[in-house]
Amino acid sequence: MAHAGTPPQPTFEATLVRWSAGGWVFAPVPPEHAPDTAGAFGRAPVIATVDGQAWATSVWRDRAAGWLLAVPARIRSGKDHGDVVTVSIEVDPGRM
């Protein structure tokens, strides 16, 4: 969901990881694709695209795991732990 005149965001492949507590499923964000800064609570608002489906969300910085993108079931379309997805994220500074 790039703005007019903005180049498309680079994509990366991520292997989905199911977090043991709470059943959340995350796509780890490689350091070269991670936001430069985080706002409150270690989060950065982004427009995320996973396998062609875009939505407004946030990525979270975990001290041990690095940056994580929670991927809801409606976006995963049946994919789960261990499956590979194609991801792009664009920081949304208007929501910082």
- Sorted by sequence, the CB contacts under 8 Å of residue 1 that are 6+ apart come out as 47, 49, 54, 90
Q: How far apart are CA 39 and CA 33, in angstroms?
A: 17
Tens of pLDDT along the chain (96 residues) come to 444 444 556 899 999 999 876 689 999 999 999 998 888 788 999 999 999 999 999 999 988 889 999 999 999 999 999 999 999 999 988 877
| Structural domain spans, the chain | 12-95
Between CA 2 and CA 25 the distance in angstroms is 25
pTM of the model: 0.84
Contact 80, 16 (CB under 8 A): yes
Kindly report the CATH number that applies to the domain delimited by 12-95: 2.40.30.100
Strands 25-29 and 43-50: unpaired
